[in-house]
Structure 1
Amino acid sequence: MTRLAGMMAKSAVAPLDRLKILMQSNCPHYSRFNLWSCYRAVLNKEGFLSFYKGNGAAMIRVFPYAAIQYTAYELFRPLMRALMGPHSHIGNFTAGAAAGTVAVTSTYPLDIVRTRLAFQVKGEHVYYGIMNALQKMFHENGWRAYYKGYAATVAGILPYSGSSFYFFDLSKRIMLKYFPKQTTTVNEEKGGRLELSIWAKLICGCLSGVIAQTAAYPVDVIRRRMQLIGMHPAYDHYNTAMWRVGVIVYHEEGMSAFYRGLSLNYVRAIPMVGISFTAFEFFKQLLRIEEHAPTS
């Protein structure tokens, strides 16, 4: 059910996802537009259904990604607590970062396919569906084609996933300690212990999402550019080390290029992350595996 919820949420924000990819990659056809004018230009040039380019790959990726990420987190967290103590901030951050790395590594080929499909403009299609993209990419450069920009992705997922889980756990502890009357309910079936309400967990998820997205966004821009190497001549000069790509982007477009589409990312990421974490916590409670956050 969490996967179905994730698929529905992904589809709901699919138009924002495509706009974000176009802005992050500085697509030659839409590079001169701001958010609203980019939306109108895409709508006029390609039609409304074009906002769902790459959504099929995103849907397929949702199933394994969420399951792998949260399962890995539940495996890494007790290990980190055993090594660094139950209240270690570094331990929580490391567990989240490790879980994100495992999940993104497992599903990365679908991520790059989704980016390339979403980047395509009407009349200039290189790929015609997920399988066609996978086949053509393999002929380009073998299995390595599926992992272009992987180093930048891992470099981005470490601060993103780490800070996301860390600040989610931290905000839960803060609410339980300082605002128990406003944010908790009593669970009589579990000995009358306090548990955070659904809306409180949603707030925690949204806050963690904002912080995580802001921390990782510049690296996310770099990885988008690298994922398009070989697809369009405008991106061939990004076929170099990750840090060099950052230098190129800075010299060509300035510091603002690293934050193109960030406000749009807030709009799409806040409900996505909030719903994701809330569903995760809800089903942990339902299955009676939730660990009560410390209040002292």
Structure 2
Amino acid sequence: MFQLLRGFVLPAAACEGNRDGDSRYANLFRKLDLNEDGRVDIAELQTGLRAMGIPLGKEAEEKIFKAGDTNQDGQLDFEEFMQYLKEHEKKMKLAFKSLDKNNDGKIEASEVVQSLKILGINISEKQAEKILQSIDADGTMTVDWNEWRDHFMFNPAADIEEIIRYWKHSTVHGSKSNKMNIASGFKQMLKEGGVRSLWRGNGVNVVKIAPETAIKFWAYEQYKKILTRDDGKLGTVERFVSGSLAGATAQTSIYPMEVLKTRLAVGKTGQYSGMFDCAKKILKREGPKAFYKGYIPNILGIIPYAGIDLAVYELLKSTWLEHYASSSANPGVFVLLGCGTVSSTCGQLASYPLALIRTRMQAQASVEGAPQLNMVDLFQRIVATEGLRGLYRGIAPNFMKVLPAVSISYVVYEKMKQNLGIA
């Protein structure tokens, strides 16, 4: 990403230190001044940085803008822009020197390990090399001042502690999770929090799932009644729409608990004493809006998921009854389990990328110093760093969890309908 800044925004001579700094700043300013009026507002800054491949997130971009807008007129002129970058470069120079322990003008992996250890963070040399790879533009596995400056040009970190905090969460932890499989995931969870960590967040999940499922099935029956044709028939399209609306209704009703479940699951051992403590800390630190973090991708995902899931389930069940049930309208437990498994699989495949983005949006807010990306920026970053396969990362354990749960819920749903005399 920042190699793009070096090659696309900064001219080669500037990257090598042969041009005056003001020329570098002028080139950058022209890239951001989209309407060429000599001023850059917050919208131009955000759009320009995304065009350069640097989606910092709204919070970081606003922090940069606020720091640079010294006269508080809501715009950055070239003098303000240049002054901000000069001051920021001074801070980054101090950070660079604090890492360059042997004063040779280059940062090496061993120096990163040493610096983080001083601050109480222990990482391996391999993890330090991962950090350097994200900054190293020429492939030398060391970082000189020019590479360091270009990489942190638009990172709002003000000192080495903030930079290391950013590394700790976005690079070191990211590299671990990117290569994690189911077995290593279990191993890491057991090591970090013992057996109890495997059920972290399950309490709120149980509290959430009962009303969510009840509302979904109740709403589905109500929407089906509304959309039933005059001849009493209900087609696949009507079932899909009913399922989509039912899923959206249920998710909107319980969404704050979805956020709590994710925060508890990704939190460290001892970070929260329970569901209410988690809710209290989120409310105090981030405000009420935090309880709907990731709501838009969640709704965009639940519409195809719930629609496909419920529609395919009823289509498969009715098809089986039509062709194989001669004496009974009861398909049996195993048929219902099979229909639920297939329908849930279809729904998951269609909606998983949005569910992944929702979960990452919920989780990133709990990471101190990490950029808070919106749905579009997060999607772009996943595709850029992990490829299209990254949008389906974690789908295997998700299938292992969801398929039996959803299938069983359909069996219970059908049995309860029979017992309650609901057609």
TM-score of the pair, normalised by structure 1:
0.79
Whether contact under 8 Å (1:137, 1:145) holds in the other structure is: yes
Tell me the SS of whatever aligns to 2:276: helix
The equivalent position to 2:339 in structure 1, one of 184, 204, 214, is 204
Q: Report the equivalent of 2:194.
A: 47
3-state SS in 1 of match to 2:234: coil
Q: Which structure dedicates a bigger proportion of its chain to helix?
A: 1
Cα distance in structure 1, aligned partners of 2:336 and 2:394: 26
Equivalent AA in structure 2 for residue 246 of structure 1: F
How many residue pairs match? The answer is 251
Matches within 5 A, 1:50-61: 50-61=197-208
- CA distance in 2 between partners of 1:163 and 1:83 (Å): 24
Partner of 1:141: 286
Deviation at 1:180, TM superposition (A): 2.4
Q: Distance in 2 between matches of 1:121 and 1:31?
A: 19
Task: Answer whether contact 2:333 2:411 (CA < 8 A) is retained.
Answer: yes
C-alpha deviation, 1:27, in angstroms: 5.5
After TM superposition, the structure 1 = structure 2 runs for residues 1-296 of structure 1, keeping only pairs within 5 Å, are 28=174, 30-82=177-229, 86-122=233-269, 125-180=270-325, 186=328, 194-233=329-368, 235-238=370-373, 240=374, 242-290=375-423
The whole-number CA distance in structure 2 between the counterparts of 1:46 and 1:165 is: 37
Which letter does structure 1 place at the counterpart of 2:371? D
Amino acid at match of 1:63: A
CA displacement at 1:263 relative to structure 2: 1.4
Farther off after superposition, 103-112 or 78-87: 78-87
Report the 3-state secondary structure (helix = DSSP H, G, I; strand = E; otherwise coil) of the residue aligned with 1:195: coil
Residues 115 and 270 from structure 1, CA distance in 2 versus in 1: closer, same or farther, beyond 3 angstroms?
same
Gaps of 5+ in 2: 1-171
Higher gyration radius (CA) = 2
**Pair 83,114 (structure 1): closer, same or farther in 2 beyond 3 Å:** farther
Give, in whole Å, the separation in 2 of the partners of 1:27 and 1:227.
16
Q: For the residues of structure 1 that align with 2:238 and 2:369, how far apart are their CA atoms?
A: 41
Greater CA drift, 47-56 or 133-142: 133-142
User: Which gives a bigger RCO, structure 1 or 2 (Cα 8 Å, sep 6+)?
Assistant: 1
Please list every run of at least 4 consecutive aligned residues from structure 1 whose deviation after the TM superposition is greater than 3 angstroms.
26-31, 82-85
| Cα distance in 2, alignment partners of residues 84 and 261 from structure 1 | 44
- Aligned counterparts of 1:77 and 1:86: Cα–Cα separation in 2: 10
From the superposition, tell whether residues 150 and 222 of structure 1 become closer, same or farther in structure 2 (CA, over 3 Å). same
Are the equivalent residues in 1 in contact too, given 2:312–2:343 (CA < 8 A)? yes
Distance (Å, rounded) in 2 between the aligned partners of 1:253 and 1:237: 18
Mean alpha-carbon deviation: is it higher for 80-89 or for 225-234?
Answer: 80-89
Secondary structure of the residue aligned to 1:121 is coil
Q: Which runs of 5+ in 1 are unaligned?
A: 1-25, 187-193, 291-296
Give the counterpart letter for 1:260 in structure 2. R
Looking at structure 2, the residues matched to 210 and 263 of structure 1 have their Cα atoms a distance apart, in angstroms, of 11
CA–CA distance in 2 between the matches of 1:173 and 1:69?
20
The CA RMSD measured in Å over matched residues stands at 2.0
- Structure 1 pair 115/195, CA: closer, same or farther in 2 (3 Å)? same
* CA offset digits 1:155-206 (Å, max 9, x no partner): 111011110100001101211122226xxx53xxxxxxx3212221111111
